[in-house]
Amino acid sequence: MQWASLSEFFAMGGYGFYVWGSFGVCAATMVAEPLLVRHRQKMAIRAIRQSQDL
Protein backbone atom coordinates (compact mmCIF):
# COMPACT_ATOMS: atom_id res chain seq x y z
CA MET A 1 0.00 0.00 0.00
CA GLN A 2 1.31 3.44 -0.94
CA TRP A 3 -0.75 5.75 1.29
CA ALA A 4 0.86 7.05 4.48
CA SER A 5 -2.23 8.94 5.59
CA LEU A 6 -5.87 9.52 4.74
CA SER A 7 -5.17 13.02 3.38
CA GLU A 8 -2.52 11.54 1.07
CA PHE A 9 -5.11 9.07 -0.16
CA PHE A 10 -7.58 11.88 -0.94
CA ALA A 11 -4.88 13.95 -2.62
CA MET A 12 -4.11 11.09 -5.09
CA GLY A 13 -0.64 12.49 -5.72
CA GLY A 14 -2.08 15.80 -6.95
CA TYR A 15 -4.66 14.14 -9.21
CA GLY A 16 -7.40 14.16 -6.55
CA PHE A 17 -9.80 16.34 -8.55
CA TYR A 18 -9.58 14.12 -11.63
CA VAL A 19 -9.62 10.76 -9.86
CA TRP A 20 -12.45 11.60 -7.43
CA GLY A 21 -14.33 13.50 -10.14
CA SER A 22 -14.33 10.26 -12.14
CA PHE A 23 -15.13 7.83 -9.33
CA GLY A 24 -17.63 10.19 -7.71
CA VAL A 25 -19.78 10.72 -10.80
CA CYS A 26 -19.53 7.02 -11.60
CA ALA A 27 -20.72 6.01 -8.12
CA ALA A 28 -23.48 8.65 -8.02
CA THR A 29 -24.98 7.67 -11.39
CA MET A 30 -24.72 3.95 -10.63
CA VAL A 31 -26.63 4.48 -7.38
CA ALA A 32 -29.20 6.78 -8.99
CA GLU A 33 -30.03 4.50 -11.92
CA PRO A 34 -31.33 1.50 -9.88
CA LEU A 35 -33.27 3.91 -7.62
CA LEU A 36 -34.96 5.45 -10.68
CA VAL A 37 -35.80 1.99 -12.00
CA ARG A 38 -37.23 0.97 -8.62
CA HIS A 39 -39.42 4.08 -8.71
CA ARG A 40 -40.56 3.16 -12.23
CA GLN A 41 -41.49 -0.33 -10.99
CA LYS A 42 -43.56 1.11 -8.14
CA MET A 43 -45.32 3.48 -10.56
CA ALA A 44 -46.10 0.60 -12.95
CA ILE A 45 -47.60 -1.48 -10.12
CA ARG A 46 -49.61 1.49 -8.87
CA ALA A 47 -51.00 2.12 -12.37
CA ILE A 48 -52.12 -1.52 -12.68
CA ARG A 49 -53.80 -1.47 -9.27
CA GLN A 50 -55.63 1.75 -10.11
CA SER A 51 -56.90 0.34 -13.39
CA GLN A 52 -58.16 -2.74 -11.54
CA ASP A 53 -60.05 -0.72 -8.94
CA LEU A 54 -61.97 1.20 -11.58
Partner 1 sequence: MINWFKFSAPSTFYPLAGKLIPIFWTLAALFAAVGLYIGFFVAPTDAQQGEGYRIIFIHVPASWMSMFIYCVMAFWALMGLTFQTRLSGMMSSALAPTGALFAFLSLWTGALWGKPMWGTWWVWDARLTSELILFFLYLGYMALHAAIDDPRRADRAGAVLSLVGVVNVPIIYFSVTWWNTLHQGASVSLTKSPSMASTMLWGMLLMALAFWAYTIAVALMRARSIMLEREGNTEWVKHLPDVKEAV
The CB-of-3 to partner 1 minimum distance in angstroms stands at 8
Interface with partner 1 (CB under 8 A), residue from 4, 6, 7, 51: 51
Residue 38 CA to residue 27 CA, distance in Å, equals 17
CB 54 within 8 A of CB 47: no
* Secondary structure (3-state) at 12: helix
Q: Which is nearer to partner 1, 5 or 52 (CB)?
A: 52
For residue 40, state whether it binds partner 1 (rule: CB under 8 A). Answer: yes
> How many Cα atoms occupy the beta-carbon half-sphere of 7 within 13 Å?
0
Q: Which residues bind partner 1 (CB under 8 A)?
A: 1-3, 9, 12-15, 17-19, 21-23, 25-26, 29-30, 33-34, 37-38, 40-41, 44-45, 47-49, 51-52
